Chains A and B, each alone.
Chain A
Amino acid sequence: MKKTKLQILTNGIIRENPVLVLVLGTCPTLAISTQAINGLGMGVSVLVVLTCSNIMISALKRIIPDTVRIPCYIVVIASFVTMVQLALKAYLPSLDKALGVYIPLIVVNCIILGRAEAFAGKNSVIDSALDGIGMGIGYTLTATVMACIRELLGSGTIFGHAVTAGTITPFTIMVMAPGGFFIFGCLIALVNKLTKGKVKEKQQNKCLGCPGAALCSHVQEGGAEE
């Protein structure tokens, strides 16, 4: 069954949400979701890189030899990341400072390499662009929602506007590392509950989403046999 254009676009937003269902790209999501504005900024950066690299890789798929495709994908992705990095430095220096090292780290974000490997390398340019936009929106929404929750609980604000000031004392732990893991765990449990465990199978096979999985078949079972 061939998917319609709309299905490809919406696939990444809900059914195969890269963060909550495929559990890809957890590192930056956890790290930058301390303030809603950072979550949004990171989300849009990933959206741009993902869409551009999907288009480029899909257009080049006949030229890139199969054996060296991963290094080629990485070069394409790294070029777009550098462009985004320079653009942020020039126009949004405060966001660039807040996101810091996590901008260059978009290169090794498994969402992007994962989509290149799983989708853009096999599909047409337009489909790949739609997939990139859908996955990017899915990522942006998740990162922003998670950042809103953490910002609200941890500092009592949303996008910098005071919400609970004077009524609830914010508990700072939520904007620190343990709060990130905790909220993320709760969000995934919520998705499990809402979908009645339908997505859990995909989460269990998280190695399949990892671009390294193709290179290393042993780690899937949870480790080497000694």
Chain B
Amino acid sequence: MSAAAVFYIVLSAIITNNYVLSKFLGICPFLGVSKKLNSAMGMSIAVIFVMVIATAVTWPIQTYLLTPNGIGYMQTIIFILVIAALVQMIEIFLKKYIPALHKSLGIYLPLITTNCAILGVCVLNIDNGYGFLQSMLNSFGSGVGFLLAMFLFAGVRSKIETNDYPEAFKGVASTLIAASITSLCFLGFSGMLENIFGM
């Protein structure tokens, strides 16, 4: 795989195909945990971490276990169980061996099992026919894209919280309108990478 292809996969996962703002995956944490910058960062780092490890585990399971045995239809059940078990194991491992990291990421880990971005990235890697390395790059890029969206949106939210807008729009409604504008900014990048890399 050429360096250009590596950059293309990672950058398109971060910017043009951003999971939150263009594929609508992981909206719950995006709306729920973006009130404070440091919790948004903690959640995002935990997501990158789990996304990469989950792909490293689910891709070989699909390729070497499910597909050759003709039980590809078990994908959904197996993947969600693997992800749930994995998150639990990561939590136990971190608690025992890297307590400092567990302290900062620990509370976000249980929430990640039901984060659709994780299952989404695992299933999409298979659907798109990516190889192992491509899948890993795509997962890493998607995670970083999630971080970028959370980071920007936490900033936007801290600004709009104090503003005076119509009564009916207070709460979730204003947050969604703000998300719409943030997503509009990302839409501006579409087609850009195709031009640069000529793909």
Q: Residues of A with Cβ closer than 8 Å to B?
A: 23, 26-28, 30-31, 71, 74-75, 78-79, 81-82, 85-86, 100-101, 104-105, 107-110, 113, 173, 176-182, 184-186, 188-190, 192-193, 197, 200, 203-204, 206-207, 210-212, 215-216, 218-219, 222-224, 226
Contacts and interface: CB of A to CB of B under 8 A. Distances in A.
Contact of A107 (B40, B108, B119, B177): B119
Given A26-B28, A177-B187, A181-B183, A203 B114 contact: no
Given A192-B168, A218-B107, A101 B124 contact: yes
Q: Is the interface of B mostly helix, strand, loop or mixed?
A: helix
A177 B91 CA distance: 34
Given A101-B127, A189-B173, A222 B36 contact: yes
Nearest to A190: B168
A165 B74 CA distance: 44
B77 interface: yes
Nearest to B77: A78
A226 B115 CA distance: 23
Q: Is the interface of A mostly helix, strand, loop or mixed?
A: helix
Contacts of A188: 171-173, 176
A219 B173 contact: no
B61 interface: no
Contact of B32 (A177, A192, A210): A210
Interface in B120-156: 120, 123-124, 127
Contact of A222 (B33, B73, B174, B177): B33
Interface string B161-199: 000001111111111110111011011000000000000
Contacts of A179: 180
Nearest to B18: A177
Contacts of B113: 108, 212
Contact of A110 (B40, B114, B119, B187): B114
A180 B24 contact: yes
A224 B172 contact: no
A105 B119 contact: yes
Given A108-B116, A178-B180, A212-B113, A219 B73 contact: no
A100 B127 contact: yes
A196 B23 CA distance: 32
A109 B167 CA distance: 29
Contact of B39 (A86, A180, A224): A224
Contacts of A31: 23-25
A222 B154 CA distance: 11
B84 A74 contact: yes
